[in-house]
Amino acid sequence: MMTNPCRCLPILALSAALVACGGTEGTAQPEKRATAAASGPIVDVTQDDAEMNAAIARARATSGELLARLRQPPSGMSYLGVKVQVGDDRRGEHIWLYGVRLEGERIAGRLLDDAEYFPQYHQGDEIRVLPSEISDWMTVEDGHACGGFTARVLIPRLSPAERKEYLRSMEIPRLPPGDQVCDGGAGR
């Protein structure tokens, strides 16, 4: 069974993260929040993990919401991150991008971390992908999260203290429930 290594979201003082396979990028104070939200341990997720595959599919299906935010950022948006897969189809590593922007039809940004298993990918490397190739996206708007579908899979696996620290570091009360794209007052 093949696995997909993932960077996780913030876990206490480790400045780690647990967004199933990821991290994040901020529009206001990008390095501060991106580092708090992403650099951290790697979590191996099997390719047949139905929950994770559904989360990635949901992120791709809602990429139009991400594109709208890239084209016209909401006034209260303080964070925007996109997670992408590097490596190959058999085994990939999912890493968050910071400095995310739209370049024509592609989403562009810089890797938040070095790839652990693919040494040709380094922190700060420029990556460009089509919306159909993202692994996840997340924004924080007026203190409420949108997206974060892979995080929703992994966050429940944290201890209560780790969940609390993740939410604190992202400056949100919770992730959106169920299949909702945005939580509370966020969204268009």
Q: How confident is the model at residue 65 (pLDDT cuts 50, 70, 90)?
A: very high
Q: How confident is the model at residue 13 (pLDDT cuts 50, 70, 90)?
A: very low
φ and ψ of 39, to 5 deg? -55, 125
pLDDT, residue 3, reads: 44
Residue 19 has pLDDT above 50, yes or no: no
Candidate ranges 17-21, 88-92, 104-108; pick with highest mean pLDDT: 104-108
Distances (CA, A) of 6 to 50, 131, 144: 15, 19, 24
* Mean pLDDT, range 19-25, rounded to an integer: 34
Query: What is the tens place of the pLDDT at every residue in 123-158?
Result: 999 999 999 999 999 999 999 999 999 999 988 888
φ and ψ of 109, to 5 deg? -175, 180
Rounded Cα–Cα distance for residues 14 and 128 (Å): 29
Residue 173 has pLDDT above 50, yes or no: yes
Q: What is the pTM of this model?
A: 0.80
Three-class secondary structure assignment of 149-169: HHHHHHHHHCCHHHHHHHHHH
Nearest CA-CA partner of 83 in 29, 144, 18, 141: 18
Three-class secondary structure assignment of the chain: CCEEEEECCCCHHHCCCCCCCCCCCCCCCHHHHHHHHCCCCEEEEECCCHHHHHHHHHHHHCHHHHHHHHHCCCCCEEEEEEEEEEECCCCEEEEEEEEEEEECCEEEEEECCCCCCCCCCCCCCEEEECHHHEEEEEEEECCEEEECHHHHHHHHHCCHHHHHHHHHHHCCCCCCCCCCCECCCCCC
Residue 49 has pLDDT above 60, yes or no: yes
Nearest CA-CA partner of 14 in 120, 158, 157: 158
**How many percent of the chain have pLDDT more than 90?**
57
> How confident is the prediction for the chain on average, in pLDDT?
80
pLDDT, residue 43, reads: 66
